[in-house]
Amino acid sequence: MILNLPSLVYAIGLILAANYDLRAKNGSAFTTMLSLGLTRFDRLWEAVGKLLTMFSPLDQPKFDQGNLAHRAAALLVMAQMAWSVRQLLLQRGESDQPFFAAGLSGILLNLLMAAIVYLGLSLLGTGWRIRRDLDSVLRRLGLRVPRRQDWLAGLASGLLIYGCVTLVASLLPSSAGDQSSARLLFDIVKRSLPAALLVAILSGVGEEIFFRGALQPVFGIFASSLLFTLVHAHYGLSPELLILFFVSLGFGLARERFSTTAAIICHATYNFAPFLIYRLMPA
């Protein structure tokens, strides 16, 4: 995700303007201004709606062509995708350098900041305290107190996805699972299970609430998973990105069949599994 301050301020401004204009139902002056008029191009959003329907075999996205909030979110999603593709091309197929500050404290701080940004964008994007109250926002995001089925589905699917990824990665040892950032993170965190669990939870909570809770119902599993994959452009152009796309589809199915809560548990389980296996079988 683009987390630099100017881009974040612009994203928040556009999201707020769209939600306030949507609530007012009397025009879209602020949204039109911030989007450079793009939110007024009806044919563009008709095409986006058709494209989302065409590439959504696993679910039915609820993208509303006339909804200003949906149009604003789509603009931001397309901008993020374009920026991520540009980064991939600039890397010339090689993975990026570590994207977090060195040391455990740096990793945790970066993950916490990212989780806060993702949560904030999700709350604002769904209209918290503008056109929805907190209960309505939580229902919209698919969040609830974990039920037994959430725990069972999340833990089982997380372990299943990790097992499948490990099998595929073993067939591609020179490309998958050998990225500098991921390897460095593992080396730093692997000696402390509590720290590993915290890393797994922080990344799972923030990303799942945003990608699966806020975006997936509007744009569908395929588009939200594609964005999730492109956001992780630091992996470079490698089979790891393709693997990550299918991992994201698994998280999306957990959200679709159960809840975002189940997807969070699935994601956290997937992230925590290698650390737990390392401690149980260090050899």
Residue 132 phi/psi, 5° resolution? -140, 145
Domain ranges for the chain: 5-280
Q: Rounded CA gap, 109 and 96, in Å?
A: 20
Q: Rounded CA gap, 165 and 185, in Å?
A: 18
Whether the Cβ atoms of residue 199 and residue 190 lie closer than 8 Å to each other: no
What separation in angstroms does the CA of 96 have from each of 28, 88, 100?
Answer: 40, 9, 11
- How much is the pLDDT for 178? 45
Instruction: Pull the structure tokens for residue 4.
Output: 């630099």
- How much is the pLDDT for 265? 98
Whether the Cβ atoms of residue 122 and residue 264 lie closer than 8 Å to each other: no
Q: Rounded CA gap, 38 and 48, in Å?
A: 13
Residue type, 82: A
**Range list of β-strands (E), 4-133:** none
Whether the Cβ atoms of residue 225 and residue 58 lie closer than 8 Å to each other: no
What separation in angstroms does the CA of 79 have from each of 1, 5, 83, 227, 261?
Answer: 11, 16, 6, 10, 28
Instruction: Pull the structure tokens for residue 190.
Output: 């692997």
Give, to the nearest 10 degrees, the angle between helix 180-189 and helix 260-280. Answer: 70
Residues near 219 by beta carbon (within 8 Å), at least 6 away in sequence: 52, 61, 63, 73, 74, 77, 227
What separation in angstroms does the CA of 131 have from each of 120, 126, 128?
Answer: 16, 8, 6
DSSP for residue 208: I
- Taking only the tens of pLDDT, the chain with its 283 residues reads 555 788 999 999 999 999 999 988 767 888 999 999 999 999 999 999 999 999 888 888 999 999 999 999 999 999 999 988 887 887 665 554 555 556 888 888 989 999 999 999 999 999 999 999 999 999 999 999 999 999 999 999 999 999 999 999 888 755 444 455 677 778 888 888 999 999 999 999 999 999 999 999 999 999 999 999 998 876 566 778 889 999 999 999 999 999 999 999 999 999 999 999 988 886 5
Q: Rounded CA gap, 200 and 181, in Å?
A: 15
- How much is the pLDDT for 136? 97
pTM for the complete prediction? 0.92
